[in-house]
A and B are shown apart, each in its own frame.
Chain A
Amino acid sequence: MTITDFLFFVFAGMVIMSALGVVTSKNPVHSIMFLVLTFFCSAAIWLMLEAEFLAIILVLVYVGAVMVLFLFVVMMLDINIVKMRQGFVSYLPVGIAFAVVILAIMVWVVGPASPDVSNTAALHQAVTHGADYSNTKMLGKIIYTDYVLAFEIAAVILLVAIIAAISLTLRRRPGTKHQIPGEQIKVKRDDRLKIISMEAEVKK
């Protein structure tokens, strides 16, 4: 076992453990922290596969931006954990049973029992490159040439997501009180203050 193999197993193990933590921890904030850990370990595995760009992006975008946002949202919402966990125990045995069955199938299909699967082209030993090889450059090239259509459509999907999110959440409620700065600035003295002349009165 080389050092890379060892590191792989460490990170892979952490990915699995922290993923389990996401679904089992009682506190949603903890769940999110576990999710961050999962992403982080995945990024580490990618790094070991010389996919530096993807690893960095994962950390920057998911860990740095998406998850932080997520954390804000979760912390702002008052989630009733007890209610959400109702029935968790009663469904747990069935859930575990199914998970085990699926795990068994996966092991049987790609596990050590069928070594031929790992003998296919794509599952060969990861390709290694020299120090001058730029992962980022290669990705950039391929995205704007071979994969241009997929890239564009992915962009469209993001656009649709924006439209959908806005159209579902943006609402102008009638009767809400908000400031209109333009109106505020335009205000004149006469609008606010009225000077009336009246006779002086003397307290009797």
Chain B
Amino acid sequence: MENLYLAIPLAPLVGSVIAGFFGAQIGRRGAHTVTILGVAVSFVLSLVVLYQHLYQHAPAVNATLYNWMIVGGIQFQVGFLIDNLTVMMMTVVSFVSLMVHIYTIGYMSDDLENWPKDSLAGVNSYQRFFSYIALFTFSMLMLVMSNNFMQLFFGWEAVGLVSYLLIGFWAVRPSAVYANLKAFIVNRVGDFGFMLGIAAVVMYAGSLNYADVFAKAHLMSTETMSLFPGHNWNVVSVICVLLFVGAMGKSAQIPLHVWLPDSMEGPTPISALIHAATMVTAGIFMVARMSPLYELSESALSLVMVTGALTALLMGLVGIVQNDIKRVIAYSTLSQLGYMTVALGASAYSAAVFHLMTHAFFKALLFLAAGSVIIAMHHEQDMRKMGGLKKYLPITYWTSLIGSLALIGFPGFSGFFSKDTIIDVVHHSTTGGHGFAYLCVLSAVFITAFYTFRLFFLVFHGEPRMDAHTKAHLHEPPWVVWLPLIMLAIPSVFIGGFTIGDVLFGNYFGSAIYISPHHEALAELGKHFHGAWAFMQEGFVGPAFYLAMFGVFSAWFIYMKRPEIAGVIKQKFALIDTLLVKKYYVDELYAWLFGGGSRLLGKGLWTFGDVRFIDGLLVNGSAQLVAWFALVTRRLQTGFLYHYAFAMIIGLLMLFGLGLFR
């Protein structure tokens, strides 16, 4: 059994290693075959495990495979915790990854054009790309399957690393390098919090193992720690907040959201896989996994909820003014991650994970569809130069429509079930800040619908605005591109209604997620749940539906019916427009405050600390001292035998002194 589990993450790793190290030997075909095979193996095995857990009700497995080291009583282990939460994540990750792998064959086929002629990095870039995404799949699976904080952290950092490598994949573009550095540095901030959180867990629980930590959670909740004298904080709250800082970085929540839009510099398949479907949801998954801790801290939950609500609303607003097709979807991802975070704050962990799952499918779908458009448009990403693509790209068109409807939560599509539940849960929640959060998520429904269909209309409807050359070459991309679209469209429609009963209101998660009796908003909701069909019917009369419809209508009216209105609104609300276009000046603020500040600090430290003190006094000074000492002691090595013997006699006398005259 454990070998089966082990094979799931290792299969993509093997593929990655082969494609990465022997890419030149096995060629393009070999590279994509071996990695797709690896991911396919993990997908099939994940399905096997899913089947065992769903239909054979296999118990949760918590097994340690390898003891890496024991230091000071803390065990560093590699182990798997396979329960229903893990199984769901494994299936989603491996499925989306498989789709993206197949899609990549089409997307990257003409990758050579993206590199300068004599670029060394362009050699075998295709194979390298496959190696990276397979490595990502391995890391993500290690993350979700972990049963301890160390392995979680390993996966966490490994997916971050791959994300960094892939955002900057086209390393010859300065913007790509800037974006990957930004992602890396912003994530450092989050990871620092995360690491402090893990350190606090080790310090107070004395173990890295989830089971041990959760067992001690109640004990820890009675302890306090004082970071500043006079302020006693609850240990669990501190841990939860610190861990959430990590989640904020990885899942791009305000104020650590700035890296995700820029990450669109990477190739589109990874935007779908890493920056929409899986990696960015690692933070959500982690908080859900830590539910036994979060349930003990009201303040942490409030923080989570408010952060999520702010992200959901504010990032959605920015999405309205973007013109880059991928950036619109990126901001929508931010907004949707905000929804998930709100759900976490409302203790509806299962709703968050449920939305995570549906979002993974329809957002991957939207990204891949956008990628399909980009391929057709010869890597043109500006929506203002598109339009009327419906007749050229029928498959992309229909699958995009499905994705868009799922995203805005049109009743019946899977996004509807998860999103509506979150809105309702927030409504019923008692966590601090729920009123504000409810307002945010509700208004975000309108905004989501608006920007989604703004994109949809601008790209697929209206007059074609591209140049003649591009227009002449418009055609549907090859099957490797549209097949994943269809494969993803299916769960985007059905998975929500099909599973909502079990996942949200049934007992699917069992003991994997713990909800304290005080936070039963979801259970409250469950009392009024009478099947997916009834839920859908109720959806048609809720405020969310009308807001969404109004959003779609507004988008149609402003961008299709009366395109001149857009310009008028822009002029009337120039201030707000600028604010949104500049993304609330957060980037500028960070660049000025942190970028400039740290440069200033760095320069100061460099001139005074480094050049004078460290280089001058410590490094050169001590080096000179050492060199001088070395020279002097080297002289002692005269080569004369009697000097050597004499040294021994001196040593003998020295030891006499030590031994006899103490």
Instruction: List residues of chain A with CB under 8 Å of any chain B CB.
Output: 91, 94, 98, 101-102, 105, 108-109
Which A residues are in CB contact (< 8 Å) with B660?
A: 105, 108-109
Which A residues are in CB contact (< 8 Å) with B642?
A: 91
634-662 of chain B: CB within 8 A of chain A:
642, 646, 649, 652-653, 656, 660
Least CB distance from A139 to B in Å reads 33
Instruction: List residues of chain B with CB under 8 Å of any chain A CB.
Output: 642, 646, 649, 652-653, 656, 660
Supply 8 A–B pairs (Cβ within 8 Å), ascending by A.
A98-B649, A98-B653, A101-B653, A102-B652, A102-B653, A105-B656, A108-B660, A109-B660
Which A residues are in CB contact (< 8 Å) with B649?
A: 98
Least CB distance from A100 to B in Å reads 11
Which B residues are in CB contact (< 8 Å) with A109?
A: 660
Least CB distance from B26 to A in Å reads 55
Least CB distance from B507 to A in Å reads 75
Least CB distance from A68 to B in Å reads 27
User: Who on chain B is nearest to A95 by CB?
Assistant: B646
Most buried by B among A101, A105, A109: A105
Least CB distance from B658 to A in Å reads 13
Bound-state Cα–Cα, A122 to B653, Å: 27
The 9 A-B pairs at the shortest CB distance, nearest first, are namely A105-B656, A98-B649, A101-B653, A105-B660, A98-B653, A102-B653, A91-B642, A109-B660, A102-B652
Bound-state Cα–Cα, A105 to B653, Å: 9
Bound-state Cα–Cα, A98 to B645, Å: 12
Least CB distance from B645 to A in Å reads 11
Least CB distance from A83 to B in Å reads 14
Bound-state Cα–Cα, A94 to B652, Å: 15
User: Who on chain A is nearest to B650 by CB?
Assistant: A98
Bound-state Cα–Cα, A142 to B642, Å: 40
User: Who on chain B is nearest to A108 by CB?
Assistant: B660
Which B residues are in CB contact (< 8 Å) with A108?
A: 660
Bound-state Cα–Cα, A110 to B656, Å: 14
Bound-state Cα–Cα, A94 to B649, Å: 11
Which A residues are in CB contact (< 8 Å) with B653?
A: 98, 101-102
Least CB distance from A120 to B in Å reads 18
Which B residues are in CB contact (< 8 Å) with A101?
A: 653
8 new A-B contacts, CB < 8 A, other than A91-B642, A101-B653, A109-B660, are: A94-B646, A98-B649, A98-B653, A102-B652, A102-B653, A105-B656, A105-B660, A108-B660
Bound-state Cα–Cα, A91 to B656, Å: 22
Which A residues are in CB contact (< 8 Å) with B656?
A: 105
User: Who on chain A is nearest to B653 by CB?
Assistant: A101
Bound-state Cα–Cα, A91 to B641, Å: 14
Bound-state Cα–Cα, A98 to B652, Å: 11
Which B residues are in CB contact (< 8 Å) with A102?
A: 652-653
Bound-state Cα–Cα, A109 to B661, Å: 11
Least CB distance from B657 to A in Å reads 10
Least CB distance from A24 to B in Å reads 16
Bound-state Cα–Cα, A109 to B656, Å: 11
Bound-state Cα–Cα, A98 to B656, Å: 12
Least CB distance from B69 to A in Å reads 42
Bound-state Cα–Cα, A161 to B348, Å: 85
Bound-state Cα–Cα, A101 to B649, Å: 11
Least CB distance from B6 to A in Å reads 52
User: Who on chain A is nearest to B657 by CB?
Assistant: A105
User: Who on chain B is nearest to A99 by CB?
Assistant: B649
Least CB distance from B616 to A in Å reads 42
Which A residues are in CB contact (< 8 Å) with B646?
A: 94
Bound-state Cα–Cα, A98 to B660, Å: 17
User: Who on chain B is nearest to A91 by CB?
Assistant: B642
Bound-state Cα–Cα, A109 to B649, Å: 18
Least CB distance from A104 to B in Å reads 10
Bound-state Cα–Cα, A185 to B646, Å: 59
Bound-state Cα–Cα, A35 to B251, Å: 89
Least CB distance from B499 to A in Å reads 79
Least CB distance from B226 to A in Å reads 59
User: Who on chain A is nearest to B660 by CB?
Assistant: A105
Least CB distance from B411 to A in Å reads 93
Bound-state Cα–Cα, A59 to B612, Å: 74
Least CB distance from A160 to B in Å reads 23
Bound-state Cα–Cα, A91 to B646, Å: 11
Which B residues are in CB contact (< 8 Å) with A105?
A: 656, 660
User: Who on chain A is nearest to B640 by CB?
Assistant: A87
Bound-state Cα–Cα, A105 to B649, Å: 13
Bound-state Cα–Cα, A136 to B656, Å: 39
User: Who on chain A is nearest to B649 by CB?
Assistant: A98
Bound-state Cα–Cα, A32 to B653, Å: 30
Least CB distance from B65 to A in Å reads 48
Which B residues are in CB contact (< 8 Å) with A91?
A: 642
Bound-state Cα–Cα, A102 to B653, Å: 8
Bound-state Cα–Cα, A94 to B642, Å: 12
Bound-state Cα–Cα, A102 to B642, Å: 18
User: Who on chain B is nearest to A94 by CB?
Assistant: B646
User: Who on chain B is nearest to A109 by CB?
Assistant: B660
